[in-house]
Every structure is written in C-alpha cells, then in structure tokens.
Homo-oligomer: A and B are copies of this chain.
Amino acid sequence: MSKPINDSTYWRDFEKNDITHSAAHYLMAIDALRGEFGYARVTDVAEMLEVSRGAASMSISQLKKRGWVAEDPHRFLLLTDEGHQMAVLVEQNFRILSKFFEEVLGVSPETALSDACKMEHLMSLETGRRLVWLMRYILSDESRAAKIHDVMSRFRPGCESVDHCPLCDGGECLTPLGEDCEYHKGAQGKAKKS
C-alpha cells in the first residue's frame, strides 16, 4: 500500500503557497481599516495586528513589491486589485471553515476560529467551493440540518462500532491512537510500530 503522506512530491507545497499566513493578515488588516475608517497607515496596521511599526513597515514593503499593496493619492495604504482578491479569498476561506467547524461539526467557537484562522490561507479554491456546496446541501434542508446537528451534538470520544468500523473499512485507520473507537483499540496491535 502506497503512503502518499511520505511522498516528497508535494510536502513542500506548504512553502510554495501563494500567500503566507502573515501576508494574508496584513492584507486583511488594510482591507478592514479602509472599510472602517476610510484609510490605512503603517502605524494603524501595526496596531491592529499588534506588531511593531518596524515589522509592519518591512512586511508591507514586501507586499508592495509583490504588487498587492499600493498607496493612494494621500499616500495611504491601498490594496491593488490582485491584493484585494487575495484578501477576499482568505476572508472567504475563513468564514467557510469557521462556519463549517462551528455549525456543522459543532466545534467550540474558540477552537473553530483558531483552526479556521490557521488554515484559511491554505485551502484551495476548489476545496473551499465544494465545502460551501456541502454546507449548502446540509443546511438548506431543515430536517437534514436538524438531523446532522442532533448527531454531532451527541459527539463524545468513544465509538460504539466495535466489530466493524464503517469509516476505516478496507483503508488505513483514521484513529490509530484508538482514542475514540473501541474497534481501533483492539486493532492497534496490527498498526505499524517503529
């Protein structure tokens, strides 16, 4: 059985991502400041993100070089079309992920927001669109949404299916730590050991 996780073909995609976590938040901060106050300066961005003016200055100058940030006639910071597109994409991913975690999975708000914030800049457009699609299907129907919410509200670490796990059936075990499934606790002996 192949183990794609150990394949070196794409593990470094992480470094080659379109945008870094930090850059995304600089863009979103500029976007938010202009939306709220009508302008954004280096100092305002630094204050919002709680970084030093020096750090903000350096990061923003890189964003200017990349063509994501410019200055308006009053020398205030401005997102270019491309920069705005990036900001909106990441904001969109954040909302999709946090809504999915909170309203579908029933994850606690703090964890949902923290997880979504970490992953927002990494989720592809394709995956994001399909996640919206799934949520649209699940949440648009009253009884379907209620059923999912009922199922997820009963979540606890511990699974009843001991004889046969319908999820991992045939494939690699999804809970090798055996934390939430009696079946996997028993099956752990079969797992690889190093």
Report which A residues bind B (CB closer than 8 A).
3-6, 8, 10-14, 17, 21, 25, 28-32, 34-35, 48-50, 78-79, 84-85, 88-89, 91-92, 94-96, 98-99, 101, 104-108, 110-115, 117-120, 122-124, 126-127, 129-137, 139-140, 148, 151-152, 155, 157, 159, 161, 166-167, 171-177, 179-180, 192-194
Contacts and interface: CB of A to CB of B under 8 A. Distances in A.
Contacts of A117: 5, 10-11, 13-14
B105 A48 contact: no
A132 B174 contact: yes
A166 B122 contact: no
A172 B95 contact: yes
Copies in the complex: 2
A181 to B, nearest CB: 8
A72 to B, nearest CB: 10
A21 B122 CA distance: 12
Contacts of A29: 6
26 contacts: A11-B21, A11-B117, A13-B117, A13-B118, A17-B118, A31-B192, A35-B192, A35-B194, A78-B194, A85-B177, A91-B176, A92-B174, A105-B127, A111-B124, A111-B126, A111-B127, A112-B127, A129-B180, A132-B167, A132-B174, A132-B175, A133-B180, A134-B151, A136-B166, A136-B167, A139-B167
Contacts of A132: 167, 174-175, 180
A14 B21 contact: yes
